Chains A and B, each alone.
Chain A
Amino acid sequence: MSAELEGAFPNLAADGYTVASSKTQAYNCVAWAAGDASRWWEPGIYWPGPTGDDLAALTGLFTALGYVPCVGDELEAGCEKVALYADDQGNWTHAALQLPDGWWTSKLGPDEDILHRTPQALLGDLYGQVREIMKRTSPTSSGGTI
C-alpha cells in the first residue's frame, strides 16, 4: 500500500489494489497494456498507430492491435479488454488491461505497476474518466499476454 498512490488516486484504496512492480521509466501504461515492457509508447516517441494527443489516437492504436469497442468492463471468457482514459480536454491519459482473473493491471506512467479491482479505481484529476472499453479475442486460450 502507498500513501502517495492513494493521494494521487482517491478511489484506489476503496477499490482495492496491489503494487506489483518497482518504478521504471522503461515502459508506460500503453506499452504495458499492449504487452511490451521494453518501450515507452507515446506519439513522438514510439507509437504504431494514428498519432495525436487525443483519445482517438489511443483508440486508433488499440484498433490497430485488434481491439474493437465494447460496452462493459465485466470479464468475458475468451476476451481481453482494455480501459482507455481521457481528461476533460479530450487528451488520452491512461490505458489499463484486464487480466484473466478479472482484475486490471496498470503501469502508472514512469512509476510502478499496480493491480486494481476495477477501472474506476483510477478515476480522478490525473486520469480523468474511462472513455472507452475495447476488447479482442485472447491471443491464448488461457488469457492474458503479460
Chain B
Amino acid sequence: MITLTPEQQQDVARRFQGLATRWIATTRYRSNTQALRNHPVYQELVALGEPVVPLILMELGRQPRVSWFVVLTGITGENPVPPALAGQVDATARAWIDWGRQRGYAV
C-alpha cells in the first residue's frame, strides 16, 4: 500500500472528486462500461492508481455503481466477486469493500 503525505492525500482526493463527477456523468445511460476503457476519464482515474482505491470503495459504500467495478479492476487487476454473485450489483460492491478491508484500506 502506498503511503502519502497529508498534502498528497488532499491532492489525490481533490483530483479524484473531479474525475468521479465526470465518470458518473460519462457512464450515465450506459450498459457497456467495459467499452469505455479507452475513455480519457477512465484513463485518468486508472492513472491515479492505488491511492484512489479506498476513495472508490467509499463511493461504493455510499452508493453501489457498476461503473466503478471496471475502474477498480483496471487499477488492481483483481476481481474479488465469487461467480455465484456475478451480476448482483449490491453483492459485488460488498465483495469489493470486503476485499479492501482485508487489504487494510479504511473503508
Contacts and interface: CB of A to CB of B under 8 A. Distances in A.
Interface of A: 8, 25-26, 28-31, 38-46, 53, 89, 91-95, 107-111, 126
Grouping DSSP codes into helix (H, G, I), strand (E, B) and loop, the A interface class, with mixed when no group exceeds half, is loop
B32 A42 contact: yes
Given A39-B86, A45-B86, A53 B34 contact: yes
B27 A44 contact: no
B60 to A, nearest CB: 11
Which of the four size classes fits the interface of chain B? Answer: 20 to 34
A53 B65 contact: no
Nearest to B79: A44
Interface of B: 27-35, 64-67, 69-70, 73, 79, 86-90, 92
30 contacts: A8-B28, A8-B29, A26-B89, A26-B90, A28-B31, A29-B31, A38-B88, A39-B87, A39-B89, A40-B66, A42-B31, A42-B34, A42-B66, A44-B79, A45-B86, A45-B87, A46-B86, A53-B34, A89-B35, A93-B31, A93-B35, A94-B31, A95-B31, A108-B29, A109-B28, A109-B29, A109-B30, A110-B27, A110-B66, A110-B67
Contacts, number: 76
A72 B37 CA distance: 33
Given A25-B89, A41-B31, A44-B70, 8 more contacts: A38-B87, A40-B88, A41-B87, A92-B32, A108-B29, A110-B67, A111-B29, A126-B30
A98 B75 CA distance: 39
B26 to A, nearest CB: 11
A45 B69 contact: yes
B65 A46 contact: no
B70 to A, nearest CB: 7
- 3 closest A-B pairs by beta carbon, nearest first, are A46-B87, A39-B87, A28-B31
